[in-house]
Amino acid sequence: MASNAGAPLKSYYERHIFFCLNERKNGEECCAQHRAQEGFDRCKMQIKAAGLAGPGQVRVNKAGCLDRCAAGPVAVVYPEAVWYTYVDDHDIDEIVESHLKNGKVVARLLIPASLGR
Amino acid sequence: MASNAGAPLKSYYERHIFFCLNERKNGEECCAQHRAQEGFDRCKMQIKAAGLAGPGQVRVNKAGCLDRCAAGPVAVVYPEAVWYTYVDDHDIDEIVESHLKNGKVVARLLIPASLGR
């Protein structure tokens, strides 16, 4: 990474997960058609219930299109830049428990590098 | 960072900037009242015009509330976890030119660590 942008900063949130909640009005496929809102709600609820929400801990965030629609529904965890797809509550719970709480990536839910828009 | 989550991964986007576009319906202060949409649009347009949009480069993303409202309007650049506030087009252009294009943090626009919700 060029210049000083890669300097070791303490991230305001230890982990910041963004869920694509994009909804296409023209009927095209979008994350909103694939339980994205439910996934977001579940994740937010679990993190709050665990007392992990807030600065220095975890933020569960709404986002617009993340432009990796071929893998949707998608979410990305920063600063690690780890991308997930998910199907149901079980997947969300595993991301919460393994990654967001304990820092261990959930390999089975990773998006293949080749999948983009 | 615990376990394998901090392993060096190549980020799908070299830099992923999220703009809070949150709009509060109850009349409370929110980024949407402070030119957030204009800032997002300007940033997206500049990155596209520079040919820097896409995988391996830059993604300019809409986001919901980032919960650092005291510093609003706000945007965050990952994976560096660098947080900015901005006022006008000039600020956006400096973030684009200095940080998003050249990896150099714009110190004058950084959000103080103490500013949160």
Q: What is the pLDDT of residues A38-53, one digit of tens each?
A: 999 999 999 999 999 9
Mean pLDDT, all residues of chain B: 91
pLDDT at B1: 39
Q: What are phi and psi of B76, to 5 degrees?
A: -130, 140
Where does the pLDDT of residue A9 fall: very low under 50, low under 70, confident under 90, or very high at 90 and above? low
Is the pLDDT at A2 greater than 70, yes or no? Answer: no
How far apart, in whole angstroms, are the C-alpha atoms of residue A102 and residue A116? Answer: 28
How far apart, in whole angstroms, are the C-alpha atoms of residue A39 and residue B40? Answer: 26
User: In terms of DSSP bridges, do strands B15-20 and B58-63 run parallel, antiparallel, or are they unpaired?
Assistant: parallel
pLDDT at B6: 47
Q: Mean pLDDT check: name the lowest of A17-31, A76-90, A98-112.
A: A17-31
Is the pLDDT at A1 greater than 50, yes or no? Answer: no
pLDDT at A8: 52
- Written as one letter, the residue type at B114 is S
- Nearest C-alpha of chain B: how many angstroms from A75? 12
- Nearest C-alpha of chain B: how many angstroms from A109? 14
pTM of the full structure: 0.92
Nearest CA in chain B to A83: B12
How far apart, in whole angstroms, are the C-alpha atoms of residue B84 and residue B77? Answer: 8
pLDDT at A115: 92
Name chain A contacts of B11, Cβ cutoff 8 Å. 81
Is the pLDDT at A20 greater than 50, yes or no? Answer: yes
Give mean pLDDT, residues B18-23. Answer: 93
Name chain A contacts of B4, Cβ cutoff 8 Å. 103-105
- How do residues B62-83 score in pLDDT, each as one tens digit? 999 999 999 889 999 999 999 9
pLDDT at B3: 45
- How do residues A96-112 score in pLDDT, each as one tens digit? 999 999 999 999 999 99
How far apart, in whole angstroms, are the C-alpha atoms of residue B54 and residue B75? Answer: 19
Percent of chain B with pLDDT over 90: 75
What ipTM was estimated for this complex?
0.91
Give mean pLDDT, residues B82-108. Answer: 97
How far apart, in whole angstroms, are the C-alpha atoms of residue B65 and residue B31? Answer: 8
pLDDT at B9: 59
